[in-house]
Chain A
Amino acid sequence: MDLQIIWFFIWGLLWAVFFMTDGFDFGIGTLMPFMGKNDNEKRIMINAMGPLWDGNEVWLIGAGGVTFAAFPILYATMFSSFYSALLLILFALILRGVAIEFRHHIDSSAWRQLWDACIFIGSVTPAVLFGVAFANIFKGIPIDANGIYHGNLYSLLNFYGLLGGLLFLLLFLEHGALWLAIRTEGDLHERTSKMANGLWWILLTVALIFLIASKYETNLYDNYYEKPVLFILVLVNLAAFLQIKYFLMQKKYLTAWFSSSLAIVCCTFFGLIGLFPTVFPSSIDPAYSLTAFNSSSSPLTLKIMLGVAIVFVPIIIAYQTWAYNLFRDKVTEKTLSSEQAY
């Protein structure tokens, strides 16, 4: 198989894993002002992701780094085209990161409210804008023969783009609510699992609308019609959505969360497989589109990077799994009173 094809899938996988891991952090940050009734509950919510969010966020650096290394032309075109959107995301991530660390250093409610607001903004902004950005990629971007973007931040906020933003936000909210249901107990656990149950209906509706809208707004289905076997992915995706509800009803929250993870990964790949081999389609002329083949690095770089990925990605997954396992127990009031809490 061509190196470029392998890298297309590794590239997609890194983004998918980023959405899968940091996604629940975004969800929790967005839910926090609505579900945390008092400071203790808010602290429980923060501590539910506290030991993990930093490691989760690095998948973004990994995805960005792989874009740079494996597809430098894509990296250059994509990030300069999405200049304003990406910087908004980055500022949001900065706010979230420092807010989580700063929040607990001064015991004053105004101080905590300030950083709570930053955690909310820092979570909802990336959740929506990543969805907007990816939906626009699915739809096609006004780039010319030289990869110059003819649009602005507002042209990304079209119907399909916003629908993508809404879908991502809901995916992450569901994912976050499930994570909270796993790691909390008592009243907060009851409310977060109820939230996951309620959100599920909205999520499923929006996901179906997105699937239908994709038929009219994008060419994603062309690949699927050409090789109908690919529709299995869509079926798996739908099955994953249904499993979330099924396991929720059985009160198997961890399994429900895994189903939600699978749904997020499938949603990402639904778009990417529809795009293949294109990575950044031009809406001006398909001839200007960036593909895995015309935007990639040299074969030598791709080979070296593949070696690095084969060795290190399993190691990363191993120690991250270890860290997740280390912090698998429930966050309680008792946890908060110990030193090991924000």
Chain B
Amino acid sequence: MDVVLLSRLQFAAATMFHFLFVPLTLGLSVLVAYMETQYVRTGDKVWLSMTKFWGKLFLINFALGIVTGITLEFQFGTNWSRYSAYVGDIFGSLLAIEATTSFFLESTLIGVWIFGWKKLSAKAHAAVMWLIAAAGNLSAIWILLANGWMQHPVGFDIRNGRAELSDFTAVLTNLFGWLEFFHVVSGAFVLGSFFVMGISAYHLLKKNNVDFFTRSFRIALVFGLASSIVVGLVGDFHGAHVAEVQPEKMAAMESHWETTANAPFYLFVVPDEKNERNFIELGKIDGFLSLLAFKDVNAEVRGLKDFPKDERPPVLITFLAFRIMVALGTLFILLTAAGWFLRNNLTDNPLFLKIMMFSIPLPYIANLVGWIVAEVGRQPWIVYGLMKTSDAASPISVSQVSISLAAFILIYGLLGAVGFYLIGKHAVKGPETDLVAGNI
């Protein structure tokens, strides 16, 4: 094991663990803000107890998201110092802007929200929740513009042996980053709504607090249906942009080996990376890959063989992750559409509720494999076309990274287990009964 591989494993562990919590923070914050607004507007205590119940789950999740986010900023310096020195001019400034414009606001206000129920007016307290939701999503813009820059670097000159900023507007308007932002955030909203629908389904199956959980389910359903459609649409645009600016990634996503016009899409494929072909290709649809990638059935789609072997991303992982993501994305649209037709008699459809309950992990998987497509698919580049991952690691010893990697896995594993246990415990317990009865 070398420092590069260990650092990649550590970064993958740290980011993926972080990203178990971020999407729920983004999605649930919006739902909780909406519930609290409904409370302020109507004065109906059920809305208040919904705000508090989902808010509590939000806060446990938030705590894990925020502490794991802190290590990420510093890992660029600890583990990827050559990368940081090379691109800090641009990448570092985006992270710093994120901290100044949104992370400060989010972290300061979370304390105000938790402790400020009696110190602020109901309106102001709801406004604080909206600001928390907005700050979280604003964070995502800056982080994804930073990631988008790694995927498709723009607005820089190579000077003094590093990438120096030459056009900040280009960095801010980088289409890759914006497509990532809309894709990631709508994916996070899907996760947030499936979380709420799944837990509500559990209680509806048990006939606990039917009014409370029917309302929760329906709000999440509307939010989830809209987000599922948006995530798919944006994903389609995003895929087309990837085909344009990262053709190797697109070829790996589809395990597409030969450059062809009118490129076919296969429903079932088993890649054979070693022999640069596919073991199995079934369900051929002529021209569909060209259509997906370039909106033109006759367009030429470049195959992996067109690129030097040492510049191709790992095909199998990228391909599988992409297929899983797309399959799940499609499933989310079907499930939420089905929910739309059943929305008025949810409790009469235990099978649907059961499916929704067991679907809670699926958006988590979809979010994580999405990141695998983006990040593994970019390899061997850390900054696409500019710097290879192998040139980016810090000059540190293998033992340092081995120990820290073990510590990351141990600590994150334990805390993650405790965190999900607590979320599960509160989710199963349901809202405080006195709140539901309205006697607060």
Interface residues of A (CB under 8 A from B): 50-55, 57-58, 60-62, 64-70, 72-73, 75-80, 82-84, 86-87, 90-91, 93-95, 97-98, 100-102, 105-106, 146-149, 297-298, 300-301, 304-305, 308-309, 312-313, 316, 319-320, 323, 326-327, 338-341
Structural contact, A297 and B107, CB atoms closer than 8 A: no
Shortest Cβ distance from residue B29 to the other chain A in the assembled complex, whole angstroms: 15
Q: Is B85 a contact of A73 with CB atoms below 8 Å?
A: yes
Nearest chain A CB to B319 CB, angstrom units: 34
Beta-carbon contact of A72 and B89 below 8 Å: yes
Q: Establish whether residues B418 and A57, one from each chain, have CB atoms under 8 Å apart when the complex forms.
A: no
Encode B79-122 as 1/0 by CB contact (under 8 A) with A: 10110110111111101111111011101111110111111100
B168 touches A339 (CB 8 A): no
Residue B174 lies at the interface, judged by CB distance under 8 Å to chain A: no
Q: How far is the CA of A149 from the CA of B70 in the complex (A)?
A: 24
Query: How far is it, in angstroms, between the C-alpha of A48 and the C-alpha of B64 when the chains are bound?
Result: 22
Residues A69 and B165 in contact in the complex (CB < 8 Å), given A55-B107, A80-B78, A83-B400:
no
Chain B, residue nearest A148 (CB)? B395
Binding site for A on B (CB under 8 A): 59-60, 63-64, 66-68, 70-71, 73-74, 76-79, 81-82, 84-85, 87-93, 95-101, 103-105, 107-112, 114-120, 159, 162, 164-166, 168, 394-396, 400, 403-404, 407, 411, 415, 418-419, 422, 425-426
Nearest A residue to B162 by beta-carbon distance? Answer: A72
* Residues of chain B with a CB closer than 8 A to A338's CB: 118
Given known pairs A50-B115, A93-B67, A305-B96, the reply for A80 and B88 (CB within 8 Å) is no
Whether A102 pairs with B103 at a CB distance below 8 angstroms is no
- Say yes or no: A98 contacts B77, CB within 8 Å: no
Q: Which of B63, B78, B91, B97 contacts A87 (CB 8 A)?
A: B78
Residues in A whose Cβ lies below 8 Å from that of B115: 50-51, 327, 340-341
Contacts of B70 on A, CB cut-off 8 Å? 57, 60-61, 90, 93-94
* Interface pair A101/B59, CB less than 8 Å apart: yes
Residue of A nearest to B113 (CB): A51
Name 16 interchain pairs, CB-CB below 8 A, sorted by A: A55-B108, A58-B104, A60-B70, A69-B97, A76-B77, A76-B85, A78-B77, A86-B77, A98-B419, A106-B422, A301-B89, A304-B165, A305-B96, A312-B101, A323-B108, A327-B115
Asked if A86 and B395 sit within 8 Å, CB to CB, the answer is no
The answer to whether B164 and A68 have CB atoms under 8 Å apart is: no
Contact partners of B419 in chain A: CB under 8 A: 98, 102
Separation in Å of the A57 CB from the closest CB of chain B?
7
State the Cβ distance, B51 to closest chain A Cβ, in Å: 12
The complex places the Cα of A149 from the Cα of B78 at a distance, in Å, of: 12
Tell me whether A298 and B59 are in contact in the complex, defined as CB-CB below 8 angstroms, given that A69-B93, A319-B108 are known contacts: no
A141 to B: closest C-beta gap in Å = 14
Complex contact A68–B96 (CB within 8 A): yes
In the assembled complex, which residues on chain A have CB atoms less than 8 Å from the CB atom of B394? 76, 80, 83
Partner of B396, one of A66, A68, A80: A80
In the complex formed, the residue of A with least CB distance to B131 is A319
Residue ID in chain A nearest B160 by CB atoms = A298
- CB proximity of A129 to chain B, nearest CB, Å: 13
Once A87-B407, A98-B67, A300-B164 are accepted as A-B contacts, the answer to whether A79 and B77 lie under 8 Å apart by CB is yes
The 4 closest A-B pairs by CB, nearest first: A72-B88, A79-B77, A68-B92, A65-B96
Q: Is the CB of B76 within 8 A of A68?
A: yes
Interfacial chain A residues near B95, Cβ < 8 Å: 65, 68-69
**Which of B74, B76, B82, B114 touches A51 (beta carbons < 8 Å)?**
B114
A105 surroundings in chain B (CB, below 8 A) = 60, 422, 425-426
**Cβ A61 vs Cβ B103 within 8 A:** yes
A100 cross-chain contacts in B, Cβ below 8 A: 63
A219 CB, nearest partner CB in chain B, Å: 25
